[in-house]
Amino acid sequence: MNESAPNEPGPNEPAPRHPGLSRRAAIGAGAGVLAAGVLGVPALAGWRGQSSTGTQLRSEIPLPPPFQRPMVLPPVLTPSSRADGADLYQLRQYPVPVEVVPGYRTTAWTYGGTFPGPTIRSRAGRRTIVEHTNELPVPTVVHLHGGVTPPEDDGYPTDLILPDETWQGYGHGGDTTVRTRSYEYPLQQRGATLWYHDHRMDFTGPAVWRGLAGFHLVTDPEEERLDLPHGERELPLALMDRAFDTQGQFLYPSLDPGLIDPPGVRHPYESGMLGDVILVNGRAWPYHQVDTALYRLRFLNASNARRYRLRFEVDGEEVDLPIIQIGSDHGLLAGPVRHEALTLAPAERFDVLVDFRSLRPGAQVRVVNDLGAGSTADVMRFDVTRQVSDERAVPDMLSTRLERLRVADAVRTRAMTFRSQPIDGMHGWVVNGRPFDPDVTHATVELGSTEIWELTGDFHHPVHLHLSPFQVLGRSTGGPGPFDAGWKDTIDLRPAETARIIVRFDGYRGRYVFHCHNLEHEDMMMMANFDVV
């Protein structure tokens, strides 16, 4: 796994059609040298029976025992001004050594010096402007995942922030700026657990792997009235898996470790990159001390390709702590939903309440991952340390204004497929049989109109739509699944499954993307445009 990757373009490289595609050609060529002999069935041999589509890369350092270090919360970012009806934030993107695994200094690519990036907190309807400065060696793009954002600020994959002028002429034809760019978020939407992350075309996987992700929490009056656990009892928890090289640096099988050219990963990681170390908020298997109280945990699966099934196992007890879901990707549910375990696909968010009041100080609660094995079966541990009295009840009603989209209002139904397919004879992932092309639109939808989309996939494909949240009508396996409730922006599409979702394209006119949020699939072109007109 340490061999250096050949990245000479092959002899059959097709003539470039435009700047974006000339670089595309290199994916196939580079990967092809390694993937020879496995065309069309890349990296999937070991897939059967697996719970994530991907291949696990083993760390080259001895893995530390779990639960050695306390969990930390990303700092909450302070606005540099609150003028003009808007909160203004500034974030520099730069590399920083961080202690992810005890005893090692891993250079992360950070937003503002922390991994994950600082948490931004906004109120719904209050404009938030984030000025990003790129001090990394490569272009970046910032996308607010779950944000209802005008197209020019949505972080279109070719709207690059170049590190400096010398990158001119290399912008894939997008709306490119040098060094600094302000993203303006109107946030005319419900309170929700959003997150921001890199979205540069072809290189989102390695950039997020190196650290470019953070929470953006939006609150609204309805949520505030519920008086949910807050302060120390509201914990945003970002789950990521990573692998480390002998020096404790992030290990990622990029064809070009400089992330310039060519894009793509070495065989057999084209189906998704899985690490053997589980991080919560940037630390390997942390512990967290809690009171005998009710907690609000806001889970985000920020992993490139890994799915999780979380359970709260109480040491020495037969029965797990129940997980009470109160919110999904786009905010509160109508009422709480009780789960024994919580399944999260990449990019999904689950807002849950967990009640530690039935436990005594000294109790330990391990958060385990039923979809993992060995080191990836552990996530973190909660240690009950303090007896307090907490009278807070789990509300029986949450959002009283949860709208149900109606099938009768849908003006059309579209079929969208997500499959593995050779591209230029090499391995790729495609939407409706086509690799991503910024100039090709897969759907032209009318602003304000409602549509039903039928999503069909071959393997696990967490399908994400920018701009417009949706609701899940059903799956080929039956009705909506247990984790499909509420407003979603990402659906855990499972192998050989069709899911029906209903979307109302509210918000803004313009070009947006939808894509698979397995970041290796996304980079290997499982992305497409829709145009709101």
Q: In a 10 Å sphere around its CB, with 0-12 CB exposed, 13-18 middle and 19+ buried, how is residue 85 labelled?
A: exposed
Amino acid at 515: H
Kindly state the smallest distance separating residue 212's Cβ from ligand C2O, in Å. Answer: 11
Contacting ligand C2O within 445-474 (CB under 6 A): 464, 466
Number of residues that bind Cu ion (CB under 5 A): 6
Kindly state the smallest distance separating residue 329's Cβ from ligand C2O, in Å. Answer: 10
Residue 521 interacting entry, from Cu ion, ligand C2O, none, C-beta within 5 to 8 Å by type: Cu ion
Q: For Cu ion, give the closer residue by CB, 332 or 516.
A: 516
Beta bridge partners of 512: 530
**Contact call for residue 143 and ligand C2O (CB under 6 A):** yes
Q: For ligand C2O, give the closer residue by CB, 213 or 384.
A: 213
Q: Of 283, 306, 466, 475, which lies in the binding site for Cu ion, with binding defined by CB under 5 A?
A: 466
Distance CA 266, CA 41 (A): 14
Nearest to 370 by CA among 52, 48, 47, 43: 52
Contacting ligand C2O within 234-273 (CB under 6 A): none
Residue 199 interacting entry, from Cu ion, ligand C2O, none, C-beta within 5 to 8 Å by type: ligand C2O
- Cα separation values, 345 from 304, 376, 477, Å: 10, 15, 17
The three-point CA angle 149-153-157 to 5° equals: 110
For residue 84, the 8-state DSSP code is T
Number of residues that bind ligand C2O (CB under 6 A): 10
Q: Of 23, 24, 132, 145, which lies in the binding site for Cu ion, with binding defined by CB under 5 A?
A: 145
**Contact call for residue 216 and ligand C2O (CB under 6 A):** no
Contact 148, 467 (CB under 8 A): yes
**Contact call for residue 23 and ligand C2O (CB under 6 A):** no
Q: By three-state DSSP, how is residue 279 classified? A: strand
Q: Of 197, 200, 306, 349, which lies in the binding site for ligand C2O, with binding defined by CB under 6 A?
A: 197
Nearest to 468 by CA among 147, 215, 187, 218: 147
Residue 347 interacting entry, from ligand C2O, Cu ion, none, C-beta within 5 to 8 Å by type: ligand C2O
How many CB atoms are located within 10 Å of the residue 290 CB?
22
Distance CA 119, CA 462 (A): 24
The DSSP string of 181-236 is EEEEE---S--EEEEEEE--TTTHHHHHHTT-EEEEEEE-HHHHHHT-S-GGGEEE
Q: Of 145, 172, 190, 307, which lies in the binding site for ligand C2O, with binding defined by CB under 6 A?
A: 145
**Contact call for residue 347 and ligand C2O (CB under 6 A):** yes
**Contact call for residue 461 and Cu ion (CB under 5 A):** yes
**Contact call for residue 515 and Cu ion (CB under 5 A):** no
**Residues 508-527: x/- map of binding to ligand C2O (CB under 6 A)?**
-----x-x-x----------
**Contact call for residue 521 and Cu ion (CB under 5 A):** yes
Q: For Cu ion, give the closer residue by CB, 283 or 521.
A: 521
Nearest to 383 by CA among 413, 360, 412, 353: 360
Q: For binding to Cu ion (CB under 5 A), which residues are involved? A: 145, 461, 466, 516, 518, 521
Q: For binding to ligand C2O (CB under 6 A), which residues are involved? A: 143, 145, 197, 199, 347, 464, 466, 513, 515, 517
